[in-house]
Amino acid sequence: MKYIFVTGGVVSSLGKGITASSLGAILRARGHKVTAVKIDPYINLDAGTMRPYEHGEVFVTGDGAETDLDLGNYERFLDIDTTRSSNITTGQVYKTVIERERKGEYLSQTVQVIPHITDEIKNRIRAVAVAANADICVVEVGGTVGDIESLPFLEAIRTMRFDEAYENTAYLHVTLAPEVSTGEIKTKPTQHSVAQLRSTGISPDFIVVRSSTEMGEEMRRKIALFTSVEPERVYSSYNVEFLYEVPLAFEEQGLGREIEKRLKLETIPPSLGFWHDAVKKQRQPAFEVNIGFVGKYVAMGDSYLSILEGLRHAGIHNDCKVNIHWVNAEDLKSEEDAKNALENLDGILVGPGFGMRGIEGKILAAKYARIQQKPYFGICLGLQIAVIEFARHKAMLDGANSTEFDQYARHPVIGLMPEQLETEDLGGTMRLGDWEMTIQAGTRLEKVYGTAGTVLERHRHRYEVNPDYVQRLVEAGLVVSAVTPGKAQRGAGLVEAIELNDHPFFVALQSHPEFKSRPMRVSPPFKAFITAALEARQKST
């Protein structure tokens, strides 16, 4: 097994995840089987309770783990399915070690950071690599070198070189070369960052330098001189217009070849045709559409990262540029506000979320899309919003709402199921990970997925469409296009998807199809939504 450890310095949010993912992509393009691990030094057990504005979206794996968003990057770039084991946190590691100590598994030993915590970290890394049957495991260490909480993880990866041998381990350090007011790009932060890394006992084999513009040869040699890294192993990670240019930029600079040389891997010519084609379609699209993204975390796009990527994938497959117009749901206070914000758009997407804030604005957006025949795509909460709006204005259920927003709602068309109410553990009420949905024959969703059978989509939600109201909604014209098989509640399967017949495209899913979308395998609902938006645009011009 070969291990590549990716660390970061100078500042956080440098793009270590994109670097690790792009590295994995070019190695995969060379025929190597690659998996990835994300280490997060925070004490939380997982990312499930973190604020989106602070941490970005919560990515959900197929086995139901709420993880760091970088696992989504790994899945999209490497076309793999990660698991809960792929995200290692301080909380997980210490919890396991403490539980073992309480059970007496360490006998009379004094339990310490070294070797007990570091051994647990190494065991977890190896377990992911072995389970994936991979040739190479890329391990990204979150945080910044110098952070006190990262020290046990850095010590663990330092000692893995002795455990696994030199030719099986490589260290790649991502740093920043900032541009000062004179326009000069400074290398001193990179020099200090590498020195800080060396103070932990790790000397990088490769350095990736983030900068606004491409690094010149003189700067590359200067960094190599002051960090004792060979010049051909110093790489420029400059700002690019399109995310999927990054693997191509690294390959052009020789990163894949040098990794193979350093780890004594078979040298295989890369097959990067897909990435070249994807970038070409983004640079020179045949069409374009304008999509209104109605949400409450619109000030930080990473809060909806997988949805944005799903839209990007759909654009690539439709040879279409997708322009995102952020619409703050809290700004939609009237039908006039909704009209002003949405009338010039080709499609409307209402995404996921928790809590009361912005709900009425989202309902106004769904109503506008329904009445004005605008393509509408609802994801998770976006389905519940569509159901509430339809219940109020088409099924004439005055006061319809979700018990999440109004526990005394006159018509609780969305609510917790009885078995969820029986538990005191709120986390235990979540539906997480892969759940089946059976698509009903004759529906638009059947055309979208190409099947009337059962498909898997990932979930992250607590509230459901109330089975007591399904029949009344259906009688008013709502189409339940997919249900959860084998999960009957009082005779009715849980609603997984809804649509409208008298509409060019009005589809909403209880699941999060964005989590399974890949640039090489676009999510069917995303592709269908962008296709519908493109058709709507062409009809209006």
Residues with a known catalytic role: 380, 512, 514
Q: Which of 242, 339, 357 minimizes the C-alpha distance to 292?
A: 339
Please provide residue 332's backbone torsions phi and psi, each rounded to the nearest 5 degrees: -95, 95
Distance CA 252, CA 333 (A): 50
Residues 6+ apart with CB under 8 A from 499: 443, 444, 445, 479, 481, 506, 507, 508
Residues 6+ apart with CB under 8 A from 509: 378, 379, 380, 383, 457, 482, 496, 497, 525
Q: Which of 18, 510, 108, 525 minimizes the C-alpha distance to 305?
A: 18
Torsion from C-alpha of 485, 487, 488, 490, nearest 10 degrees: -160
Q: What is the DSSP letter of 268?
A: -
Distance CA 85, CA 123 (A): 11
Q: What is the DSSP letter of 166?
A: G
Q: Which of 235, 170, 243, 242 minimizes the C-alpha distance to 209?
A: 235
Q: Which of 454, 403, 452, 435 minimizes the C-alpha distance to 511?
A: 435
Number of Cα atoms under 13 Å in the Cβ half of residue 418:
6
CB contact at 8 A, 263 and 2: yes
Q: 208 by DSSP, 3-state: which? A: strand
